[in-house]
């Protein structure tokens, strides 16, 4: 008798006609029914709210339906409601303090995967240029010594997840590549050159991912890249030894060398990294190696274009290939998600 009176009280408060009801009140009353064990009645009352135009009401209705079906020991319907619940709020993180253990276990079993992501990548401490000499050419009897230096890196990245273990990535990244050249000749001339170049690169690579804990996953990058040289300049310093104690210097700074360089570069990309998921984003630390295969930095047709360098510094460009080792930190915002539903 008390059960019937309780149901009649709820019906009288709400009017029971959905067109005249407020979903917030229905969800509140259905939650009271759920707590009092009136599971079927709670399901009937709250189900129309799953069609509400208000996303918050729809999400609360699906959560309450999930709880009711769990209490009814109806795992199939509970999972369907849980999947719809996570579609409405893919970043929901169950709380040990407020959510029942059965609900937490069910929600953790629902696979929610970010589909499209957009992010920023920046350098953390290392973007080392490695110079590979393909063919040495000099303006006198000497050999050059090359030393790679650190440069900066910054750009945008975009990613698409095919599944939890495989994704495709690209972007637009600005690389600053630096190296030094040193050579001496005739026992009295020492020349030091500092080279700075900026490239815009477009990488395209697959990422193979594997979770190593609840919060972290490891990954391997494999693919390629192409880029265009946008600026190139060099500083030249010549030291001429007059005697054992005296010398004089000549210098030219910021000399453009872009006309002596090939504008396009291509190569292979491989790397490893570690990432962690945030609420609706991800943070990753990765090490990538850019291997400029079959690529000559020097435009051989313009090797002798700057006669002043040959006359003043006895300098000619070698045939070079540039490789780069970079450590980068990326912050990626997830644009949308996909909930993998149970197959019927």
Per-residue pLDDT at 139 = 66
Residue 56 lies in a domain: yes
- CATH for 34: 1.25.40
Query: Containing domain of residue 91, as a range?
Result: 2-112
Q: Last residue of some domain: 86, 112, 138?
A: 112
Same domain, 159 and 220: yes
Cα–Cα distance between 97 and 60 in angstroms, integer?
Answer: 17
Cα–Cα distance between 247 and 241 in angstroms, integer?
Answer: 4
What angle (nearest 5°) sits at the alpha carbon of residue 226, between those of residues 270 and 198? Answer: 100
Q: What are the 10-residue block averages of pLDDT along the chain, 344 residues in total?
A: 47 43 84 90 91 90 92 91 90 85 89 80 69 81 89 89 91 93 90 95 96 92 96 96 88 94 93 90 92 84 88 90 90 85 68
Cα distances (Å, whole numbers) of residue 201 to 8, 89, 198, 204, 281 = 69, 36, 10, 10, 24
> CB–CB of 107/313 below 8 Å?
no
In 262-324, alpha helices (H): 307-313
Per-residue pLDDT at 294 = 67
Same domain, 262 and 177: yes
Per-residue pLDDT at 21 = 52
Same domain, 205 and 265: yes
Residue 234 lies in a domain: yes
Same domain, 97 and 120: no
Cα–Cα distance between 259 and 263 in angstroms, integer?
Answer: 9
Same domain, 89 and 119: no
Same domain, 66 and 118: no
Per-residue pLDDT at 20 = 38
Cα distances (Å, whole numbers) of residue 81 to 48, 84, 159, 268 = 13, 5, 29, 46
For residue 174, count CB atoms less than 10 angstroms from its CB and return exposed for 0-12, middle for 13-18, buried for 19 or more. Answer: middle
Domains of the chain: total:
2
Per-residue pLDDT at 123 = 52
The whole model's pTM is what?
0.77
- CATH for 118: 2.40.160.20
Same domain, 138 and 75: no
Per-residue pLDDT at 344 = 58
Q: What are phi and psi of 277, to 5 degrees?
A: -85, 135
3-class secondary-structure state, position 60? helix
């Amino acid at each position: 008798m008390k059960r019937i009176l309780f149901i009649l009280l709820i019906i009288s408060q709400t009017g029971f006609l959905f067109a005249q009801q407020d979903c917030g009140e229905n969800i509140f009353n259905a939650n009271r029914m759920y707590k009092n064990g009136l599971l079927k009645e709670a399901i009937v009352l709250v189900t129309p709210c799953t069609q509400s135009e208000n996303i918050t009401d729809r999400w609360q209705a699906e959560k309450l339906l999930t709880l009711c079906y769990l209490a009814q020991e109806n795992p199939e319907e509970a999972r369907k409601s849980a999947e719809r619940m996570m579609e409405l709020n893919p970043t929901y993180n169950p709380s040990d303090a407020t959510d029942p253990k059965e609900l937490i276990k069910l929600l953790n079993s629902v696979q929610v995967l970010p589909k499209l992501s957009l992010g920023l990548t920046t350098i953390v401490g290392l973007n080392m240029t490695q110079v590979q000499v393909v063919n040495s050419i000099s303006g006198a009897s000497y050999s050059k010594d090359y030393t790679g230096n650190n440069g900066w890196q910054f750009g945008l990245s975009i990613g698409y997840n095919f599944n939890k273990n495989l994704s495709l990535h690209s972007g637009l990244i600005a690389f600053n590549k630096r190296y030094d050249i040193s050579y001496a000749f005739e026992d009295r001339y020492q020349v030091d050159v500092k080279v700075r170049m900026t490239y815009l690169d477009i990488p395209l690579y697959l990422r193979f991912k594997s979770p190593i804990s609840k919060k972290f996953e490891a990954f391997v990058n494999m693919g390629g890249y192409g880029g265009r040289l946008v600026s190139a300049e060099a500083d030249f310093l010549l030291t001429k030894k007059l005697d054992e104690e005296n010398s004089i210097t000549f210098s030219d700074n910021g000399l453009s060398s872009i006309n002596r360089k090939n504008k396009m570069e291509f190569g292979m990309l491989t790397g490893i990294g570690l990432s962690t998921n945030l609420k609706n984003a991800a943070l990753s630390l990765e090490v990538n190696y850019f291997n400029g295969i079959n690529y000559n930095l020097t435009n051989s047709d313009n090797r002798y274009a700057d006669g002043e360098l040959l006359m003043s510094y006895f300098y000619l460009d070698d045939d070079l290939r540039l490789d780069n080792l970079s450590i980068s930190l990326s912050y990626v915002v997830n644009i949308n998600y996909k909930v993998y539903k149970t197959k019927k």
